[in-house]
C-alpha cells in the first residue's frame, strides 16, 4: 500500500491506495511504520518525505474497516495506537508533502510530521463529528496547538470548515505552499538540505523543538542548553565551527 524510494540521503514514502484516495487502514499503517523504522535505522538516510497523490494525501480513515468495532475491543487493543507509535519515536526529520485532501486521519497524519509543505489545492479538515465520533489520532491536540483553540473548535465541532492551503499557511499549520506539480521536488529539496547537516545535531534540534510542546519554559530552556552543550562532544561541532572560522564549507561526518 506504499511505495518507497531514496534520492541521495532522502527517503520518500508514497501512500498508494489511489482507488480509496489513500484512506488510512491498519495494513497501510503497518507498512508505513515498517518503512519508517527501516529508514530511521539506516545511517545513509538523513531525512524522510511522506506524500500521497496529487488528488489526495489521505482522505481520511478507512471507515469500512472501523465502523463495526466495539469499545471494549478498541480499548483492549489500543485501537489507533499503532498509528502514532513509530512516528512519535522517529529520530530523523519527517516532512509531509500534502497535495489534495488531507481530511480526518489524513490531516492527523500530516500533523504528526515535523514539517508540512502543501500544494496549492490542498485541503485540511477534521470531519469526524459528521460520523458520530471525534478525531482519535491527534486532531484535537495537534490542530489546537497549530491553529489555536477557536479555529480548531470551529473545524472539529462543525465538521465542515476546512482550511485551504493559503489559510493553513497563514495560521501556521503548513510552512510553505507550492504548485501541485512542484510540491514533491520542493519538499525533497528541503529534506536534502536538512540531510546534508550533521545528523547528531539535527536529531538533537528536533528533540529540543518537540520538547517545547511538553515542558514549561524553564524546563525547556534547561533541556535545550544541555543538548547545546552536548553538541560540543561531537566531531561535527568541531568541523562546523572550524569550517566557519576558516571560511570554507563544512564536511560533516555525522559523528
> What's 216's domain CATH number?
1.10.12.10
Specify the pLDDT at position 64: 86
**How many CB atoms neighbour CB 72 within 10 A?**
8
The set of residues, in sequence order, having a beta carbon less than 8 Å from that of 19 and lying 6+ positions away, is none
Angle, vertex CA 84, rays to CA 83 and CA 90, nearest 5: 125
Distance CA 58, CA 101 (A): 6
**How many CB atoms neighbour CB 177 within 10 A?**
20
Per residue in 76-101, pLDDT tens?
988 888 777 789 899 999 999 999 99
Per residue in 36-58, pLDDT tens?
999 999 999 999 999 999 999 99
Q: Which domain range does residue 176 map to? A: 2-195
Task: Identify any residues that bridge with 141 across adjacent strands, giving them in sequence order.
Answer: none
Domain count for the chain: 2
Q: Is 108 a catalytic residue?
A: yes
How far apart, in Å, do the first and last CA atoms of the chain sit? 35
Q: 53 and 111, same structural domain?
A: yes
Q: 86 and 202, same structural domain?
A: no
Distance CA 19, CA 27 (A): 16
Distance CA 61, CA 24 (A): 4
Q: Is 255 a catalytic residue?
A: no
Relative to beta strand 10-15, strand 2-7 is antiparallel
Catalytic residue, candidates 35, 46, 58, 108: 108
Whether 221 is covered by a domain: the verdict is: yes
Q: Which of 124, 92, 119, 130 is nearest to 105 (CA)?
A: 124
Task: Identify any residues that bridge with 7 across adjacent strands, giving them in sequence order.
Answer: 10
Find out whether 10 and 192 touch, Cβ atoms under 8 Å: yes
Q: Which of 206, 197, 14, 6 is nearest to 97 (CA)?
A: 14
Question: If you average pLDDT over residues 65-85, what whole number do you get?
Answer: 87
Catalytic residue, candidates 46, 105, 119, 125: 105
Q: 205 and 185, same structural domain?
A: no
Catalytic residue, candidates 59, 119, 125, 128: 128
Q: Is 11 a catalytic residue?
A: no
Q: 180 and 170, same structural domain?
A: yes
Q: What percent of the chain has pLDDT over 70?
A: 100
Catalytic residue, candidates 23, 61, 97, 118: 61
DSSP structure string for 170-208: HHTS-SEEE-HHHHHHHHHHHHHHHHTS-HHHHHHHHHH
Instruction: Out of 195, 211, 236, pick the residue that ends a domain.
Output: 195
Specify the pLDDT at position 86: 82
Q: Is 27 a catalytic residue?
A: no
- 209 pLDDT higher than 90: yes
Find out whether 104 and 135 touch, Cβ atoms under 8 Å: yes
Q: Please give the model's pTM, rounded to 2 decimal places.
A: 0.95
Whether 253 is covered by a domain: the verdict is: no
Amino acid at each position: 500500500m506504499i511505495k518507497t524510494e531514496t534520492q541521495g540521503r532522502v527517503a520518500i514514502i508514497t501512500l498508494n491506495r489511489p482507488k480509496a484516495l489513500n484512506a488510512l487502514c491498519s495494513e497501510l499503517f503497518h507498512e508505513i511504520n515498517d518503512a519508517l523504522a527501516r529508514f530511521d535505522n539506516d545511517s545513509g538516510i538523513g531525512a524522510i518525505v511522506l506524500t500521497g497523490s496529487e488528488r489526495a494525501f489521505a482522505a481520511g480513515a478507512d471507515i469500512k474497516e472501523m465502523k463495526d468495532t466495539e469499545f471494549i475491543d478498541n480499548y483492549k487493543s489500543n485501537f489507533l495506537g499503532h498509528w502514532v507509535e513509530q512516528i512519535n519515536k522517529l529520530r530523523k526529520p519527517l516532512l509531509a508533502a500534502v497535495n489534495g485532501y488531507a481530511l480526518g486521519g489524513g490531516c492527523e497524519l500530516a500533523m504528526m510530521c515535523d514539517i508540512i509543505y502543501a500544494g496549492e489545492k490542498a485541503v485540511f479538515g477534521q470531519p469526524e463529528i459528521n460520523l458520530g465520533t471525534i478525531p482519535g489520532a491527534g486532531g484535537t491536540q495537534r490542530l489546537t496547538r497549530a491553529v489555536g483553540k477557536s479555529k480548531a473548535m470551529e473545524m472539529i465541532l462543525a465538521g465542515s470548515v476546512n482550511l485551504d492551503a493559503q489559510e493553513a499557511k497563514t495560521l501556521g499549520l503548513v510552512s510553505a505552499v507550492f504548485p501541485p506539480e512542484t510540491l514533491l521536488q520542493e519538499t525533497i529539496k528541503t529534506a536534502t538540505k536538512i540531510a546534508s547537516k550533521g545528523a547528531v545535531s539535527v536529531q538533537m534540534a528536533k528533540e529540543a523543538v518537540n520538547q517545547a510542546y511538553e515542558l514549561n519554559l524553564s524546563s525547556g530552556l534547561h533541556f535545550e542548553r544541555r543538548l547545546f552543550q552536548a553538541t560540543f562532544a561531537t566531531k561535527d561541532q568541531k568541523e562546523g565551527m572550524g569550517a566557519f572560522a576558516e571560511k570554507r564549507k563544512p564536511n560533516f561526518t555525522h559523528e
